[in-house]
Chain A
Amino acid sequence: MLEVKLRFTQPGALVRINRASVIVDGKALLSEINLTIFEGESVVVLGANGAGKSTLLKLCNSLISPSVGSVQTPPLHEQSLIFQRPALLQRSVLDNVRYVLSVRGVAEPACTEQAQRALAACNLSANANQSARTLSGGEQQRLALARSWACEPRLMLADEPTANLAPSAVRDVESLLHTVQSGGTTLVLTTHNVAQAKRIARRIIFLDNGKIVEDRLATEFFVSPHSAAARTYLEGESL
């Protein structure tokens, strides 16, 4: 019942979820989740819509608490969450990044400098003074990434970040995610897109109806999935 947030007991483990379930209005969105994510990993949570991918991510971020079981995660200021629809403020692109830095307690002039570096890394320097609302879908998601980048999180959670984007934008975002992850940040990304999962994941967690059905190395998973659910899913998705 109680959720316990401790410093991780196992070296290298960033997130530990222990027999956790999330039950809302009598319906189990997640059941009996056992999961450990290690520092530096690149994890993709794959599954159909409604499988519980977003819920799992919110559990990692402590946006929600488990009804049963326990979750250990790093403190909020070491995490960063990216949504399918980026939550941007009515300000300039630069000010959006400066905002999160100031929330984290970074004072000027470091605040503006770090913000500008993050924008540069995400190829948004040219848009620095533009109103964030006027960016294209792909640019907005890159801005969300820039925001996270600026905070140098240990754990980055991305919930279907490219679901709404055009293919070229998808490529840009994926490349940035890759850069982030190779810099040492742990990446947990959800998607229902198998091709994307193949491109990004080193470890696959396959969710079906709120349960973890498979948790394996990506290469092995895609070659020969163990479960019937996964097999059906992969066949359905491959066109």
Chain B
Amino acid sequence: MGVDSNLPGTCAGRERDVSLFVDSVNAAGSLLLSGDSTLLEITVLSLRVSATATLIAALIGMPLGAWAALTESRLRTPIVVVLNASMGLPPVVIGLIVYLLLSRSGPMGLFGWLFTPTGMVMAQTILITPIIAALARQTIEDAHGPLRDWFTSLGLNAWQRILTLLFEARFSLAVVLLAGFGRAIAEVGAVMMVGGNIAGSTRVMTTTIALETSKGDLPLALALGLLLVTLVLIVNGFAQTFKARMERRNA
């Protein structure tokens, strides 16, 4: 790409911006068709890191949210406030904290997780656990309301209630999981810091988009962006189909 005589902000500039989008759609198409192995690598890594983080965050966040929904302790309101607020934790701050934790000079340096996918999983898990817990809490609380008195009349203990409610609200909780996954795979600040965006080992779709943008290769960056959005759409599509099949089975 040589020097472009179109100044930004002019009519010609806007035309160029439109052709930029067209270029990137073309680039996205040809990237996919070419079966570029680097693209496959970063896509698979993005999915693995975010899927693992979502699973771990669910294992921690859902019981936590369920507990918060059912507890009668006086700490309930402050816990709910903290949980809801923590959904807004800035990823870049989490990235910095995890980076300092995992650094060789830090308390968890022994594990050697800095600049590895495992470190990235840790950062994303910390990021989305509050989201999953807070949303699970609300979902389970809503499900609990109409069933509360009946549960009491059955003499259920807390653990039985939690398990029953987790299953009861399973469709809404699936959406909560998807929300967590979406947040994780879209994240760039924390994984950049903790992973180091190393070619061939910790480069994911979002960090590649950031890199290509900073190299000025905007069509490629946009193309990757389109692919990422498509990927998330596909994941959500699968989830919805699965849910529909389950519902039909129940009816």
Contact = CB atoms under 8 A, between A and B. Distances in A.
Interface of A: 58, 61, 63, 76-77, 79-81, 83, 85, 87, 89-92, 99-100, 103, 130-131, 134
30 contacts: A58-B149, A61-B153, A63-B152, A63-B153, A76-B153, A76-B155, A77-B155, A80-B153, A81-B150, A83-B149, A83-B150, A87-B147, A87-B149, A87-B150, A89-B147, A89-B164, A89-B168, A90-B168, A90-B170, A90-B171, A92-B250, A99-B164, A100-B154, A103-B154, A103-B156, A130-B251, A131-B247, A131-B250, A131-B251, A134-B251
A63 B160 contact: no
Nearest to A99: B164
B146 A103 contact: no
A131 B171 CA distance: 14
Contacts of A99: 164
A109 B160 CA distance: 21
Given A87-B149, A89-B164, A103-B160, 16 more contacts: A58-B149, A63-B149, A63-B152, A76-B153, A76-B154, A79-B153, A81-B149, A81-B153, A83-B150, A87-B146, A87-B150, A91-B250, A100-B154, A103-B156, A131-B250, A131-B251
Chain B: number of interface residues, binned into ranges? 10 to 19
Nearest to B154: A103
Interface string B178-203: 00000000000000000000000000
Nearest to B172: A90
Contacts of A131: 247, 250-251
Nearest to A90: B168
Contacts of A76: 153-155
A227 to B, nearest CB: 31
If over half of B's interface residues share one DSSP class (helix, strand or loop), that class is named, otherwise mixed; here it is helix
Nearest to B143: A90
B90 to A, nearest CB: 37
Interface of B: 146-147, 149-150, 152-156, 160, 164, 168, 170-171, 247, 250-251
Contacts of B160: 103
B178 to A, nearest CB: 19
A80 B155 CA distance: 11
Nearest to B250: A131
Contacts of A85: 146
Contacts of B164: 89, 99
A128 to B, nearest CB: 12
B77 to A, nearest CB: 20
The 4 closest A-B pairs by CB, nearest first: A87-B150, A76-B155, A81-B153, A131-B250
Contacts of B155: 76-77
Contacts of B247: 131
Contacts of A61: 153
B119 to A, nearest CB: 39
A99 B164 CA distance: 9
A61 B152 CA distance: 9
Contacts of A77: 155
A118 to B, nearest CB: 16
A222 to B, nearest CB: 31
Contacts of B152: 63
Nearest to B155: A76
Contacts of A100: 154
Contacts of B170: 90
Contacts of A80: 153
Contacts of A89: 147, 164, 168
